[in-house]
A and B are shown apart, each in its own frame.
Chain A
């Protein structure tokens, strides 16, 4: 079946602009994560959605970052007033349930802020 998809694959934006990154998880997966990965670095947890529960936003680096998940499926990560330090690959992952040790990752969105 279809895997996790993300769009756009690449996004170049000017400093100060807002961007929206989209994630389509695997159908039926109730858990959805967003991570950020800078070049040559590990994955930085941003936010976690589980079903209809309130999301865990504890990894969001500032109030310029927000995310929502509509209908328990598609998720959008929004970065307002982008800064150069926001440049990174943003990865989305989904998992079928609460035992989320096996996550399925999308290809990521490479964000470049100029």
Chain B
């Protein structure tokens, strides 16, 4: 089967940098995605990594190491609006026909 592990909660100060880690165990890894979900809202796509390395999109970056079965989401210049839950998700070989989501990391940004 598949399993993903993320920290359940993270607190960080406005303006700071925070890293949310995700480790996974899957058979037939395809890629790692990250989603943001505000309380009461729907998940929204943030980033995707299929290859090792860092992908940068504005204040958000995502990293993947396939050999370590590990990835992280890096949020820079934190803003209060970044307070949300962040989920990593893995797709298995052959595509994203069946996506497994982590249990999510609740990020609280404090002044």
Contacts and interface: CB of A to CB of B under 8 A. Distances in A.
A105 B91 CA distance: 17
B98 interface: yes
A95 B43 CA distance: 13
Contact of A102 (B41, B42, B48, B98): B48
Contacts of A25: none
Interface residues of A, number: 27
Given A91-B42, A100-B91, A105-B43, A45 B48 contact: no
Given A43-B43, A91-B43, A107-B42, A100 B97 contact: yes
Interface in B35-68: 41-45, 48, 50
Interface of A: 31, 33, 35, 41-45, 48, 50, 56, 58-59, 91, 93, 95, 98-108
Interface of B: 31, 33, 41-45, 48, 50, 87, 89, 91, 95-104
Given A42-B103, A56-B98, 15 more contacts: A33-B99, A43-B89, A44-B101, A45-B99, A48-B97, A59-B98, A98-B96, A99-B96, A101-B50, A102-B45, A103-B43, A103-B99, A105-B43, A105-B44, A107-B42
